[in-house]
Amino acid sequence: MGFIKDHTVRIGLLGVGTVGTGVARILLTEQKMLHARCGTSFVLNSAADIDWSSDRGLDWSGVARTEDAYVVVDDPQVDIVVETIGGLEPAGALIARALRNRKHVVTANKALVAARGKELFTLAKQHRVDLLFEASVGGGIPIVKGLREGLVANHITAIYGILNGTCNYILTKMHMDGLEFSDALRQAQEKGFAEADPTLDISGGDAAHKLTILASLATSSLVDLGQLHVEGITEIESLDIAFAKEFGYTIKLLAICRGVDGKLDLRVHPTMVPNTHLLAAVSNELNAVFVRGSYVGDTMFYGPGAGQLPTASAIVSDLVDLSRDLTLREGHRFCNRTIDPSSAATVMPIGEITNRFYLRMHTKDAPGILSEISGVLGSERISISSVVQLEAHRVGDLVPLVILTHEAPESAMERALARIGQFPFVRDKVMRIRLFTDGA
């Protein structure tokens, strides 16, 4: 089955690093399988990279290799351009040029799509081509297709999940082996699950890029990356992990998108997930995303969020989709839920959101302290659901005081924390971790 008429689609590849090599490998070795499945002969027409000193273990015969990426995007032979360079430039300029040349583009570049979606989707629309980005979120997990097509009949009311494998690996190690953050990070780097410079991952920035893309898809409108509330995992201590376990929670970096009264609640932060929730069981470098639809209810997509071949698998699925596009009657295009670059989503300020909180502080072991702290929370109408104060082993030691609260507005908590921080008996910053509640 598949296409009744066979046809050939020519691919130009920009960047032959880890992911680009994976794409080349699938296109060069799986031609037959792909043809059997969709009737399309995918030909790797040309590939650009600044370094061709290695052949990456592949047979490149028949592929025009160049150091000049513009040769690829300007080549009239090329039907679809695959961008796996990463970063904003030159990737952005090359994609823009390809779209202007009326080539479809497939990218894995979450930073670029999140930051410059307006420009690029507008260009694609003007030139009647598609910019597909399955690989930009969740690596090999077909979450973009699931959202765009599989759940096309649904209004999406919430998306939440684990979108950064580096953070999930670090937090898993902290939970399993009782490691401190810095040791878990070093282990992640040794195992290849964290970059030499892990800033973008551990700051929550990478998860924010991906959430921006998912939220844009869910709302069919552009979400401004700058409007997200983003916190990373660098301040989480083994003590917090231990308390979380004690209370029956697992700490995960969650990316959350909810529709509330016509606005979007959009944030990335460490979250205490109850151990009864499936996300608590998603460990190591794996990713998982819950999608809540108006008709389907809750679904979850799980799998490898990064890696050479998973990411390449996602890119090739976009190529197969685009190969269909090239068989549509004149004037038709197929994407059935995509991002309208002329429509902007309204993001809710974090202060308007309501959450449950875990607070951990170090205080002196003296009478009246708990009363003063709970007094501040009470005056902000924040209700306490649980308190644990550990004993000091020596006179004068600081003791950890942990408070779980019921739901309270973020703005009230912000004011309470400012006041608590001024107490002379509270040392260092108060650690605040949000609790997962059913509405995400």
- Tokens 């300029």 sit on residue: 93
**Residue 260 and residue 257: Cα distance in Å, rounded?**
10
Q: Which of 87, 178, 192, 297 binds a second copy (CB under 8 A)?
A: 297
- Which residues, other chains included, contact 337 with Cβ-Cβ below 8 Å and sequence gap of 6+? 147, 148, 149, 152, 217, 220
The binder of a second copy chosen from 56, 324, 362, 415 (CB under 8 A):
324
What one-character DSSP code corresponds to residue 390?
Answer: P
Tell me the closest approach of the beta carbon of residue 138 to a second copy, in angstroms.
9
If one asks whether residue 84 binds a second copy (CB under 8 A), the answer comes out as no
The answer to whether residue 161 forms part of the interface with a second copy (CB under 8 A) is: no
Contact between 332 and a second copy by CB under 8 A: the answer reads yes
**Least Å from the CB of residue 180 to a second copy:** 24
HEC per residue, 42-95: EEEEEEECCCCCCCCCCCCCCCEEECCHHHHHCCCCCCEEEECCCCCCCHHHHH
Site membership for a second copy, residue 338 (CB under 8 A)? yes
Dihedral of CA atoms 219, 224, 225, 227 in degrees, nearest 10, equals: -100
Does the footprint of a second copy cover residue 305 (CB under 8 A)? no
- Kindly state whether residue 282 participates in binding a second copy, applying the rule CB under 8 A: yes
User: Which range touches a second copy (CB under 8 A), out of 84-92, 187-195, 276-284, 351-359?
Assistant: 276-284
Record the tokens describing residue 162, joined without a space. 């684990």
262 contributes a contact to a second copy by CB under 8 A:
no
Burial tier of 342 (Cβ tally within 10 Å: 0-12, 13-18, 19+): exposed
Q: Using the rule CB under 8 A, which residue among 89, 177, 246, 334 binds a second copy?
A: 334
Of 93 and 278, nearer to a second copy (C-beta) is: 278
> CA 388 to CA 371: how far, in whole Å?
13
**Interface with a second copy includes 88 (CB under 8 A)?**
no
Per CB under 8 A, 337 contacts a second copy: yes
Out of 151, 170, 225, 228, name the contact with a second copy by CB under 8 A: 151
Helix residue ranges per DSSP H, 158-307: 165-177, 181-190, 199-202, 205-219, 238-247
Of these, 119, 183, 237, 340, which contacts a second copy (CB under 8 A)? 340
Packed helices 110-126 and 205-219: angle between N→C axes, nearest 10 degrees: 30
CA distance 48 to 70: 8
- Whether the CB-CB separation of 15 and 83 falls below 8 Å is answered with yes
Question: How far is Cα 337 from Cα 315, in angstroms, rounded to an integer?
Answer: 18
- Among 210, 245, 252, 263, the active-site one is 210
Shortest distance, position 279 Cβ to a second copy, whole Å: 10
| Contact pattern for a second copy over residues 31 through 70, marking x by CB under 8 A | --xx-xxx--------------------------------
User: Is there binding between residue 176 and a second copy (CB under 8 A)?
Assistant: no
The answer to whether 209 and 110 are in contact (CB under 8 A) is yes
Q: Which residues in 379-418 contact a second copy (CB under 8 A)?
A: none
| Of the residues 333, 364, 406, 415, which one makes contact with a second copy according to CB under 8 A | 333
Of 153, 196, 367, 395, the residue at the interface with a second copy (CB under 8 A) is 153
Bridge partners of 354, per DSSP, are 409
Does position 107 interact with a second copy (CB under 8 A)? The reply is no
For residue 253, what are its two tokens? Answer: 């970096």
Residue 229's closest CA among 271, 199, 276, 185?
271
128 binds a second copy (CB under 8 A): yes
Contacting residue, 14, 26, 111, 273, with a second copy by CB under 8 A: 26
User: In whole angstroms, how close is the CB of 214 to a second copy at the nearest point?
Assistant: 15
Q: Are 238 and 174 in contact (CB under 8 A)?
A: yes
Q: 36 or 390, CB closer to a second copy? A: 36
**Known catalytic residue at 210:** yes
Q: Which two tokens stand for residue 110?
A: 């979450």
Helix 91-100 / helix 110-126 crossing angle, nearest 10 deg? 20
Among 20, 117, 140, 259, binds a second copy (CB under 8 A): 140
Where would I find the beta strands (DSSP E) of 15-48? 40-48
CB burial of 52-63 (b: ≥16 within 10 Å; e: otherwise) equals: eeeebebeeeeb
Residues near a second copy (CB under 8 A), total: 69
From 79, 83, 134, 201, residue interacting with a second copy (rule: CB under 8 A): 134
Q: Which is nearer to a second copy, 33 or 88 (CB)?
A: 33
Q: Compute the distance between CA of residue 423 and CA of residue 430 in angstroms, rounded to an integer.
A: 11
> Is residue 192 within the footprint of a second copy (CB under 8 A)?
no
Contact set with a second copy (CB under 8 A) = 1-5, 22, 26, 30, 33-34, 36-38, 121, 125, 128, 134, 140-142, 145-146, 149-155, 220, 278, 281-282, 288, 293, 295-304, 307, 309-310, 312-314, 316-317, 320-321, 324, 327-329, 331-340
Catalytic sites, residue numbers:
210
